[in-house]
A and B are shown apart, each in its own frame.
Chain A
């Protein structure tokens, strides 16, 4: 019995260890969001991927929306056309326009799926699967949006909550008054969370305009790559008494605009 338990524990550990050796890739895109017609640079940091950290060169292996010409090659011998560009220690990048890269119309490119691997990926020398969503070419209203769409840390940003198109019942019914905004570099928060008063734009549209260096007292050298916002207010309970309520947390990437 002891032997069976030991074997099971060993097997489980092996599975977990193998998974840990292929997970941990940090993927960023520039611009932060893109359509199938935009030129995008995808950067993959494999520092935390045990099986790939320190290896060179690395290759892209992609299958969705298709296998781009001239192909990925073989699992044990990647096509040189899929070789990634080294842009720093354990950082690899590829730049392309999705429609040209995959040779498909924009309507067929809604998601890009790929992984990063060694030329010969035998022995799991690869990352886990990576998926990136591709924005549609037509405008799609969303409950949270910013103006402008592409924003940077030194730009004037207006964040909007468009209540009527919310699918979240609390957000739809809430009487918004404030928002909590925080700014991040990766997963690390920079500065403190700020609570700000919302402006009523009419028709249940709420907004707040801010300039990140001023709101967060950012230095010129501060590095930030995203901000998060939660809209807060009140909602009536069963007795008609206002109680605190809040929207889901929304996140938006910051681009390096110059």
Chain B
């Protein structure tokens, strides 16, 4: 009887000692999304403006949908690639105002395989955008968020939603 108890105890200890914490894996981007997902012509479908100061101070009038104003749905942004590298950029504003400062130039991502930030560049004029959900990009929809600050304080954010055929 003592032998059986001893064997069970040893087996239990061995089992316990064999346990190891699972290794924490690196975050992996949604496999369908990378730099090639951006290539093509994107049509602006929605523009939202948020008053970050009002949001912080719990004032009313925090968000305004601007989609129907100023012909924003005319805007088409074309991202070109050379191989798998971001290359030319062109923006056709139609009857909308030139809200991104530039109408042509180049573009780049912070990481071509796990993009999080997108820049539209033309000389000293650069517009920086934070990318929305990957699941949208996989479905040919793209959300770009742009923040405007006074000093270090974010005052306004714009959210631009695009789609492509």
Contacts and interface: CB of A to CB of B under 8 A. Distances in A.
B69 interface: yes
Contacts of A152: 148
A148 B59 contact: no
A164 interface: no
A258 B127 CA distance: 10
A34 to B, nearest CB: 10
Given A147-B49, A147-B64, A255-B150, A211 B155 contact: no
Nearest to B69: A209
Contacts of A81: none
B34 to A, nearest CB: 30
A257 B97 CA distance: 18
A214 B98 contact: yes
Interface string A133-173: 00001010000010111101011101000000000000000
B156 interface: yes
A242 interface: no
Nearest to A95: B151
A148 B149 contact: no
A256 interface: yes
B66 A257 contact: no
SS class of chain B's interface: helix, strand, loop or mixed? mixed
Contacts of B60: 139
A257 B57 contact: no
A149 B51 contact: yes
B101 A156 contact: no
A255 B60 CA distance: 21
B54 interface: yes
B97 A211 contact: yes
A255 B155 contact: yes
Given A147-B64, A150-B150, A156 B53 contact: no
A213 B149 contact: no
A137 B57 contact: yes
A30 interface: yes
B61 to A, nearest CB: 6
Contacts of A220: 101, 125
Contacts of A147: 49, 51, 61, 64
A139 B66 CA distance: 23
A211 B70 contact: yes
Contacts of A156: 49, 66, 69-70, 99, 158
Given A155-B156, A257-B148, A148 B97 contact: no
A88 to B, nearest CB: 18
A31 interface: yes
A215 to B, nearest CB: 8
A143 to B, nearest CB: 15
B69 A148 contact: no
Interface of A: 30-31, 35, 39, 137, 139, 145, 147-150, 152, 154-156, 158, 209-211, 213-214, 220, 255-258
Smallest CB-CB A-B distances: 9 pairs: A214-B97, A148-B51, A211-B97, A139-B59, A209-B69, A257-B148, A150-B155, A148-B156, A147-B64
Given A31-B155, A149-B59, A156-B69, 5 more contacts: A147-B49, A150-B51, A156-B66, A156-B99, A255-B155
